[in-house]
Structure 1
């Protein structure tokens, strides 16, 4: 039949056939590329939570700045010098120097105030001595006047009654004046002693304040309380203390001396996973600096209250993992990868999470069926980062679709 066709017609037929073949080839290639299947596997299944952490000593001794800053009215000071982190220091060796300028000004002010109060105390004592001496002299004079009135009364016993009565009145007046003077003297004495005591108390307080300031200014040179490796303290925002950092009177920690015989990995677990994490769970630990070494540990502390880390919107919970053993190569602040073992199932069916789909309340997968696939309802259990347990609906060795280009829901789902 083709022999009777013209050459042009033959060429057109060949081109059309080639186009059909090419379309079928490309279509089958796209389908193979899009339709990726995974087998339903059977075996052990682990639920793990993986989190990055940082090594810290379980116990550390804090190296404190001046403890008396609040007593002398200094609330913050700056670090002007600090030895390098990681330096091994012996007890009593130099660690850091703090800015003394504000305290030096305070010391000068307290010294001036002390001189002033000392002068006031001396003046008050002199005034008191003069006042009481005058009062005592007045008492002596009144006593002489009283004795004089007594003599006049005795000498007037032969005088007329009116004269005797006048002498009696004068004696009574003298006695009353003397008694009042004695009482006034006691009041003046009590007042004077109270004033002197008040100024003396202020003087003692100022002297104590001055002594505390002198003692505190010596503490601005910080020395090691014991031997150990120096680790810089972290501020409230997680930044390490360094030269130029502020030291607060409320938390005057400059550095720490960690006990390297026991170490923890401190990590932060997001609020989605924290309900799975509990004390005493086993953890596999890798240290980024030594990838060929494996460590193990267990969780010793799980925070009850979440927090928000700097530059992060997520809420996380602090978790401490105690290493079961330590090496001399481990150092504080090294980064760790912590694999927390939540639970292990010995024998279950599981498939990749991306194979699972949902339509309303129905969970289903596309199961291979011949050259195509059918939507099949399944019942799932718990999942880890990559896989999910299948409790019903699939059998070992069956294949489920991983990558599906269909965006619409299936018309029919094979129900359990």
Structure 2
């Protein structure tokens, strides 16, 4: 019986011990969060900007619709037929067919105007012929009248002087009338010729307009100007031209025939990162369709003016990256991942961004000092998405807090000497955006990293 009681007490004591252990574990976990440390790293520090882009040919031949349709008050033309995008065509092959309904209406109107001008020209010719014919008949009559007056003068030799004078006057009058009629006839001929020439000019203009419309209508069937692969133009909203879309009279481009020998990756960088993008920067390029393929490139163009892209609230700037390697497998519209190498700093000391804390515009890290924690002021340099260069205040083996300690009331602050801060400030004023990487490297050489061992600050608050 004593053995059973001892065993019972033994089980009870063990259970109480287990409860105590569980209570300690749970109580400790709930009251004190686990502390995670890290240490600074030393090596090559690189600042990059990562974006996604789209492949486009650097050079291409445009496939364009008819030019000059604005002359006929046509500003948009629907597309009726298109060959599938990606079709390989040869020069002269069919590419697209445009809707002729509006231009056909203009053509019919122009034909009616041409018929009216032709009728007007025929009427003018008939009127001119009739008018000149009457004028010529009048000249003949006047010539006969002059001849009769001349005969009357000859016959009046035997008449009285008064009769002879009257006959002479009639003769001179007939001469003047014939001369005036001949002069008027020449003037009338010139007038009729000028009238016919004016009407004929209008007629020729109408004929040219009809011929012009015919030529434009023929261009509503679009053929490939060169050999290549058809890639359709993108609209402003990013969508591609399809059957039913319309082309503008100001830009009648329907498609492109890209030259695959040199490709560009067109990407858009947000307004925060664009300040660090420069022409000539190197780029690592990956392809979503072929992850195993790695390409390189160089930034060739950076837009000066931002734009609002669809489905985006912020302004972005277009950046064009030229692919270095010629590759026959590259095709337009392939999605690329671009890593732009903005800056590189050799032999730099850097730590995760989570270790940096800002208080009153000053940067600090929490680091272990034996069994204690101190709040050390630091001077920062370049930063990327994950890490930041620490120029001053941290040594290589210092243990840094990745999060703020639970209780910071009694933690001492150690500030850097004023002369050290002044030196860095002067160096920053001398730096320029075009040479920031080289000058930052010089800073690290002129002012080597100071660790916690010497603790140049030495001061405590």
**So what's the TM-score if we normalise by structure 1?**
0.84
Equivalents in 1 of 2:36, 2:206: separation in Å? 85
| Residue equivalent to 1:247 | 247
Deviation at 1:95, TM superposition (A): 1.6
- The secondary structure found in structure 1 opposite 2:195 is helix
Q: Which residue of 2 aligns with 1:31?
A: 33
Residue 257 (structure 1) aligned with residue 257 (structure 2): yes
Q: Is the contact made by 1:297 and 1:321 (CA closer than 8 Å) also made in structure 2?
A: yes
Q: 1:398 to 1:188 in 2, by over 3 A?
A: farther
Deviations 1:195-223 (A, max 9, x none): 22222122112211212222222222222
What is the distance in 1 between the residues matched to 2:36 and 2:188?
A: 107
- Please, what is the CA RMSD of the aligned residues? 3.4
Confirm or deny: 8 A CA contact 1:156 1:167 kept in the other structure: no
Match status 1:404 vs 2:404: yes
How far apart are the structure 1 equivalents of 2:194 and 2:413?
99
Partner of 1:281: 281
Q: 1:397, 1:149 → 2: CA distance?
A: 140
Q: CA deviation at 1:63?
A: 1.2
| Distance of aligned partners of 1:142 and 1:370 in 2 relative to their CA distance in 1, 3 Å threshold | farther
Structure 2 equivalent of residue 340 of structure 1: 340
Structure 1's 366 and 166: CA in aligned 2 closer, same or farther, altered over 3 A?
Answer: farther
Q: In the alignment, which residue of structure 2 is the partner of 1:83? A: 83
The farther-off stretch of 138-147 and 324-333 is 138-147
Report the counterpart of residue 424 of structure 2 in structure 1: none
Deviation at 1:227, TM superposition (A): 1.9
Aligned residue in 1 for 2:435: none
* Superposition deviation, residue 334 in structure 1: 0.5
C-alpha distance 161-97 of structure 1, shift in aligned 2 (>3 A): same
Cα distance, 1:157–1:308 mapped onto 2, change above 3 Å: farther
Question: Which residue of structure 1 lines up, in the alignment, with residue 5 of structure 2?
Answer: none
TM-score by length of 2: 0.76
Contact between 1:51 and 1:339, CA under 8 Å: does it hold in 2? yes
Partner SS state of residue 193, structure 1: helix
Report the CA distance between 1:104 and its aligned residue: 2.1
Aligned counterparts, 1:126-137, within 5 A: 126-137=126-137
Q: Is contact 1:375-1:410 (8 Å) kept?
A: no
The count of residues paired between Structure 1 and Structure 2 equals 401
Query: 1:48-104, CA deviations, whole angstroms, 9 ceiling, x for partnerless residues?
Result: 111111011111111112234334443222111111111212222222222122222
Displacement of 1:37 after TM fit?
A: 3.1
Unpaired runs of at least 5, structure 2: 1-15, 417-461
- 1:138-157 matched pairs, under 5 angstroms: 138-142=138-142
Q: CA deviation at 1:21?
A: 3.8
| 322 and 23 in structure 1: CA distance in 2 versus 1, 3 angstrom threshold | closer
Cα shift readout 1:99-132 (whole Å, capped 9, x = no counterpart): 1222222222222222221111111111122222
2:374–2:411 CA contact under 8 A, matched in 1: no
Change in CA separation of 1:191 and 1:368 when aligned onto 2, cut-off 3 Å: farther
Task: Tell me the residue number matched to 2:111.
Answer: 111
**How far does the alpha carbon of each residue in 1:141-175 deviate from its partner, in whole angstroms, 9 at most, with x for none?**
4555566667778868996589849955x677666
Which residue number in structure 2 is paired with residue 357 of structure 1? 357
Return closer, same or farther for 1:62/1:407 CA change in 2, 3 Å cut-off. Answer: farther
Which deviates more from structure 2 when the two are superposed, residues 248-257 or residues 306-315?
Answer: 306-315
Take 1:410 and 1:177, find their aligned partners in 2: how far apart are those partners?
133
With CA pairs under 8 Å and 6+ residues apart, which has the higher RCO, 1 or 2? 1
Q: Determine helix, strand or coil for the equivalent of 1:70.
A: helix
Q: Confirm or deny: 8 A CA contact 1:143 1:178 kept in the other structure.
A: yes
- The 8 Å contact of residues 61 and 256 in structure 1, kept in 2 or not, is answered as yes
Residues 364-383 of structure 1 mapped to structure 2, 5 A cutoff: 364-371=364-371, 373-383=373-383
Cα 1:374–1:152 change in 2 (3 A) is: farther
Q: 1:18 to 1:264 in 2, by over 3 A?
A: closer
Separation of aligned partners in 2, 1:364 and 1:385: 19
Shift in Å, 1:296: 0.6
1:135 and 1:407 map into 2 onto residues whose CA distance is 123
Equivalent positions of 1:13-32 (< 5 A) are 21=24, 24-27=27-30, 30-32=32-34
2:458 corresponds in structure 1 to: none
What's the secondary structure of 1:259's corresponding residue?
Answer: strand
Deviations 1:267-289 (A, max 9, x none): 11222222322222211100011
For 2:33 and 2:331, locate their aligned partners in 1 and report how far apart those are by CA, in whole Å.
54
